[in-house]
Amino acid sequence: MKVKGEPCPCGSGRSYAACCQPCHAGLPAASAEALMRSRYTAYVLGLEPYLLATWHPSTRPDRLDLAAEAGTRWLGLEVRQHVPVDENHALVAFVARYRRAGRGHRLQERSRFVREEGRWYYVDGELG
What is the set of domains in the chain, with CATH numbers? 21-127 (3.10.450.50)
Residue 65 has pLDDT above 90, yes or no: no
Q: What global pTM score does this model have?
A: 0.93
Closest CA to 69 of 24, 49, 97, 99: 99
Res. 1: pLDDT tops 60:
no
Q: What is the pLDDT of residue 2?
A: 58
pLDDT in tens, 14-44: 999 999 999 999 999 999 999 999 999 999 9
Query: Is residue 55 within 8 Å of residue 61, measured between CB atoms?
Result: yes
Beta bridge partners, 86, equal 89
**Alpha carbons 125 and 7: distance in angstroms, whole number:** 27
pLDDT classification of 4: cutoffs 50, 70, 90: low
pLDDT tens digit sequence for 114-124? 999 999 999 99
